[in-house]
């Protein structure tokens, strides 16, 4: 009977914003099992929504998660528009697309920065978050807020964009291409990053399908699923773009998918800004008849699915919210097994867990032995130390790719 | 004591706690570290353990599950410390106040373990990073007087 | 694409029609059969068989499940997504009163594991043979038998009382507080 130790990660640590608590079972230096329990962030939003009117709900659900703040309200209003069989004006579809792609852009850049920090590349962290700021600025110009946009309503959008704003959006996105290419090259060309990310935390395509993995977590394992292409919504079937996948299922693949999706997002935003049709932005929906609807959108982390049931009154009877991380987090059982402890931090981060969406935490399980606990900060430090060792061995300057 | 508060004036170490937040405020807190806002020029850094912290930046509504952990973290934080309750959720649980999974409000939870806790409130949903910097500067000024 | 509120059978056609047709007699009512959405009721005794058939279909995955407290019991809705067809088929199985129980699909569909735990926590539905039915989403101090998503639970009035301060004794706190 081999000795198993339990390493508790969490509940609080400086760089991963939400409170979550994983339990890793380790034999020696190798992970043999993972348990995750959730409930720190459970705020009872589905129940709260049953006491709100249909048009109040978007304001509640955009606070389900700060980084998917545009995706949740859009999925909800699409579900209700399905019930009411509303035809959303074309201009509103384009406006929705712009905000959602800007969100994808800033979310992926945020992830690249966090990943850089976990690996000890703090300049990547500073770079990525510095170049993310112009995106936050244009979101503020377009919607009035950096983080909670309140742009969707049932039947359209609440706020229009002027031609100057659209031109500014196009200009800022164009200027982002250079820094993004720099970041992408820094990841793709760096042999130490290859050593840290390739063949680490592999999620096989079979496991990804079995767990219902979504978004870059699934596309990084080669599964070509993307709601924007498969069940098009907003203006995604009216603009030209590609779905990005990567084979291999390792952290490197997921990083590549996220970086390349930034370029696709810029492509989509520029087309929408250029081809913005004139017209109304709101179908002015008066009543929601009885019925049921499903709305799903491709949030930065994967498919967000909302189900709404209405009975003809002005409040939803039931509103189910399923965020992408709910399906992605259980894949740790498949991707963390067999990992060495210094690789845990980056593997956990590779799924880009949006804990708020999924209300994460961890179950405390009895341990047979009492071992000193590693906090997540310790795991991040172990990961950074591993990179330092590899860099010393490769005699490269730290970090490669130019000055910040 | 004067030496300690003089030392505090120069650099503030901030420990960030998420007590059931949606992540908006948390991302903006992290944004403070980045080149645009650069809180390090004030000598403020985010630390990895509450035992080294002068400021406890709390975001979130304080759900039932997070409440005892928040209190635990507060107890571990070196005193004197200032609690920055950031965002509408930390002030009064925001739109989630009616939710069934809510614990006590952040300030009530902390005052339950330390009635003399110093709590500063930063309103907004989420407050802009500039507002958080203003709050942190006020916290520095406040700690000077202790 | 209107949702039928009576028990009329919508005719089967298109991709959704093929999916529902392949389930055979497990489907008891078809409420909607559009080009991108389907809603049907299945026999609650055959959830595992249906889940297996759905998973075996090309391009399918379990999106999520919704539990709803209805007059006759707890309605468990399975939302199956298909790529690249871009279709969502919702299958409803009623866990009737008083047992409020149906067979778990978690042994067949890994994606069903967590969502069934969530429905158990919030609605009190029982999923027979679930491999790991532990509390998932409510906190440790939440009392057993209180199901917040049920229609008779008022989120403000029926909230369980907060536990008393659960912090462990802070060893050394007195010394630190006494420090100059």
What residues are paired with B63 via a beta bridge?
A: B102
Quote the percentage of chain A above a pLDDT of 90: 58
List phi, psi (to 5°) of A86: -90, 140
User: Rounded to 5 degrees, what are φ and ψ at A53?
Assistant: -75, 165
Residue A402 lies in a domain: no
Q: What is the CATH number of the domain that holds A196?
A: 1.10.645.10
In CATH, B2-144 is 3.40.50.12280: yes
Residue from the list C153, C155, C165 with its beta carbon closest to the beta carbon of B71: C165
The CATH fold assigned to C14-152 is Beta Polymerase; domain 2 (3.30.460)
State mean pLDDT over C14-24: 91
Q: How far is CA C10 from CA A310, B125, C15, C170, in A?
A: 20, 46, 14, 65
| Nearest CB neighbour to C66, from listed A227, A318, A363 | A318
Preceding omega of B80 cis (within 30 degrees of 0): yes
Rounded Cα distance between A323 and A214, Å, is 10
Domains of chain B, by residue range, sit at 2-144
> Among A259-263, A359-363, C65-69, C79-83, which is the least confidently predicted range?
A359-363
Residues of A with CB below 8 A from C81's CB?
Answer: 296, 303, 305
Q: State the pLDDT confidence band at A359, using cuts at 50, 70 and 90.
A: very low
Specify whether A177 is located in the same domain as A251.
Answer: yes
Dig out the tokens for B120 from the structure: 């500063």
Report the distance separating Cα C147 and Cα C143, nearest Å: 9
pLDDT at A37: 65
Kindly state whether C157 is in contact with chain B, defined as any CB-CB distance less than 8 angstroms: no
**Res A345 pLDDT > 50:** yes
| A357 and A288 belong to one structural domain | no
Question: How many distinct structural domains can be found in chain A?
Answer: 2
Residues A9 and A78 in one domain: no
Sign of the alpha-carbon torsion through B136, B137, B138, B143: positive
Task: Give the strand pairing for C101-103 and C126-128.
Answer: parallel
Contact of C162 with chain B, judged by CB distance below 8 Å, is answered with yes
pLDDT score of A13: 44
CB pair distance less than 8 Å for A12 and B69: yes
Say yes or no to pLDDT of A364 above 60: no
Domain co-membership, A170 together with A26: no
Same domain, A252 and A273: yes
Q: Band the pLDDT of A310: cuts 50, 70, 90.
A: very high
Count interface pairs A-C at CB distance under 8 A: 103
For residue A16, the enclosing domain spans 5-39+331-394
Domain stop point among A307, A326, A345: A326
A401 belongs to a structural domain: no
Pair A322, A174 in one domain: yes
Q: Is residue A19 part of a domain?
A: yes
Determine whether the interchain pair C165/B100 forms a contact, defined as Cβ–Cβ distance below 8 Å. Answer: no
Residues 6+ apart with CB under 8 A from A209: A223, C61
Tokens of B52: 């080294």
Would you call B102 and A69 a contact, using CB atoms and an 8 Å cutoff?
A: no
| A88 and A179 fall within a common domain | yes
Question: Do A97 and A29 fall within a single domain?
Answer: no
Strand segments, DSSP code E, in A113-182 are 152-153, 156-157
Please report which confidence band the pLDDT of residue A248 belongs to, taking 50, 70 and 90 as the band edges.
Answer: confident
pLDDT at B21 over 80: yes
How confident is the model over A37-96, as pLDDT tens digits?
677 778 899 999 999 999 999 999 999 888 888 999 999 999 999 999 999 999 999 999
A326/A331 Cα distance (integer angstroms): 10
- Report chain C's mean pLDDT, rounded to a whole number: 86
B28 and A146: CB-CB below 8 Å? yes
**A318 plus A344 within the same structural domain:** no
Does B22 sit within 8 Å of A64, measured CB to CB? yes
A94 and A136, same domain (yes or no)? yes
Instruction: Enter the pTM of the model.
Output: 0.89
- Alpha helix (H) residue ranges in C3-131: 14-22, 47-56, 112-123
Structure confidence at residue B3 (pLDDT)? 57
Contacts of B57 by beta carbon, 8 Å cutoff, 6+ apart: B14, B15, B16, B17, B29, B84, B86, B132
Q: Where are the domains of chain C?
A: 14-152
Confidence bin at A401 (pLDDT 50/70/90): very low
B5 close to C (CB below 8 A): no
Give the tens place of pLDDT for each residue, B60-87.
898 888 888 888 889 888 888 899 999 9
Q: Look at residue A20 in the predicted model and tell me its pLDDT.
A: 47
Predicted pLDDT of residue A380: 76
B103 interfacial to chain C (CB closer than 8 Å)? yes
User: pLDDT tens across A83-116, in order?
Assistant: 999 999 999 999 999 999 999 999 999 999 888 8
**pLDDT higher at A165 or C3:** A165
pLDDT at residue B4, rounded to an integer:
57
Q: What is the Cα–Cα distance from B94 to B91, expressed in whole angstroms?
A: 7
B111-119 contact pairs (CB < 8 A, 24+): B112/B71, B112/C165, B113/B71, B113/B74, B113/B75, B113/C165, B113/C167, B114/B74, B114/B75, B117/B74, B117/B83, B118/B80, B118/B81, B118/B82, B118/B83, B118/B142, B119/B82, B119/B83, B119/B84, B119/B85
Within 8 A by CB and 6+ apart from C65, the residues are C76, C77, C78, C79, C112, C115, C116, C119
How many contacts does A have with B, using Cβ atoms within 8 A? 134
Which of B63, B68, B104 minimises the CB distance to C167?
Answer: B68
Q: Give chain B positions within 8 Å (CB) of A66.
A: 21-27, 126
- Of A287, A311, A326, the last residue of a domain is A326
């Amino acid at each position: 009977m081999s000795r198993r130790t339990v390493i508790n990660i969490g509940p609080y640590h400086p760089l991963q914003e939400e409170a979550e608590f994983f339990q890793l079972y380790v034999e020696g230096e190798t992970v043999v099992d993972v348990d995750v329990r959730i409930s720190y962030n459970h705020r009872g939003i589905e129940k709260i929504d049953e006491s709100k009117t249909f048009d109040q709900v978007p304001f509640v659900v955009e606070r389900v998660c700060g980084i998917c703040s545009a995706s949740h309200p859009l999925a909800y209003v699409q579900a209700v528009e399905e019930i009411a069989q509303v035809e959303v004006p074309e201009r509103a579809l384009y406006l929705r697309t712009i905000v959602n792609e800007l969100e994808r852009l800033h979310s992926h850049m945020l992830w690249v920065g966090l990943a850089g920090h976990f690996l000890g590349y703090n300049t990547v962290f500073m770079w990525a978050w510095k170049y993310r700021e112009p995106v936050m600025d244009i979101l503020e110009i377009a919607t009035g807020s950096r983080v909670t946009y309140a742009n969707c309503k049932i039947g359209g959008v609440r706020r229009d964009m002027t031609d100057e704003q659209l031109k500014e959006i196009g200009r800022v996105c164009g200027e982002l291409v250079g820094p993004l290419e720099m970041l992408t090259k820094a990841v793709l060309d760096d042999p130490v990053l290859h050593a840290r990310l390739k063949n680490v935390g592999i999620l096989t395509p079979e496991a990804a399908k079995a767990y219902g993995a979504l978004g870059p977590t699934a596309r990084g394992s080669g599964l070509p699923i993307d709601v924007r292409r498969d069940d098009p919504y907003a203006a995604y079937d009216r603009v030209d773009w590609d779905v990005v996948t990567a084979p291999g299922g390792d952290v490197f693949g997921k990083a590549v998918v996220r970086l390349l999706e930034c370029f696709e997002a810029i492509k989509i935003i520029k087309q929408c800004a250029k081809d913005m049709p004139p017209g109304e932005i709101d179908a002015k929906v008066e009543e929601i008849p009885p019925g049921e609807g499903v709305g799903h959108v491709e949030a930065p982390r994967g498919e967000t699915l909302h189900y709404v049931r209405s009975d003809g009154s002005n409040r939803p009877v039931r509103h189910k919210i399923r965020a992408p991380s709910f399906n992605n987090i259980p894949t740790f059982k498949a991707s963390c097994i067999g990992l060495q402890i210094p690789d845990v931090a980056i593997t956990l981060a590779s799924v880009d867990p949006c804990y708020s969406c999924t209300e994460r935490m961890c179950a405390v399980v009895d341990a047979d032995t009492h071992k000193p606990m590693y906090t997540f900060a310790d795991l991040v430090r172990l990961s950074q130390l591993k990179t330092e060792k590899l860099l010393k061995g490769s005699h490269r300057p730290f970090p490669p790719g130019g000055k910040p | 004591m004067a030496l300690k508060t003089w030392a505090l004036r120069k650099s503030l170490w901030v420990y960030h706690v998420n007590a059931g937040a949606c992540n908006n405020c948390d991302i903006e807190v992290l944004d403070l570290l980045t080149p645009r806002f650069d809180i390090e020029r004030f000598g403020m850094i985010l630390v990895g353990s509450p035992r080294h912290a002068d400021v406890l930046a709390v975001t979130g509504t304080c759900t039932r599950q997070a409440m005892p952990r928040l209190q635990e973290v507060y107890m571990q934080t070196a005193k004197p410390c200032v609690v920055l309750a950031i965002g509408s959720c930390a002030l009064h649980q925001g739109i989630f106040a009616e939710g069934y999974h809510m614990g006590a409000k952040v300030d009530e939870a902390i005052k339950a373990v330390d009635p003399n806790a110093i709590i500063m409130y930063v309103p907004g949903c989420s407050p802009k990073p500039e507002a958080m910097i203003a709050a942190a500067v006020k916290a520095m000024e406040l700690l000077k007087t202790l | 694409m209107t949702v039928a509120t009576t028990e009329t059978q919508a005719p089967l056609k298109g991709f959704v029609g093929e999916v529902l047709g392949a389930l055979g007699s497990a489907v008891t009512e078809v409420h909607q059969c559009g080009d991108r959405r389907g809603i049907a009721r299945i026999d609650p005794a055959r959830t595992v068989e249906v889940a297996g058939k759905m998973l075996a279909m090309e391009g399918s995955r379990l999106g999520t499940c919704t539990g709803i407290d209805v007059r006759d019991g707890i309605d468990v809705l399975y939302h199956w997504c298909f790529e690249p067809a871009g279709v969502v088929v919702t299958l409803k199985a009623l866990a009737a009163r008083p047992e409020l129980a149906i067979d778990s699909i978690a042994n067949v569909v890994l994606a069903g594991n967590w969502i069934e735990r969530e429905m158990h926590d919030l609605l009190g539905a029982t999923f027979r043979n679930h491999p790991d039915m532990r509390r998932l989403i409510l906190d440790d101090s939440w009392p057993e038998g209180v199901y917040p998503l049920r229609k008779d639970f008022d989120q403000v009035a029926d909230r369980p009382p907060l536990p008393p301060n659960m912090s462990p004794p802070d060893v050394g706190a007195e010394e630190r507080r006494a420090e100059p």
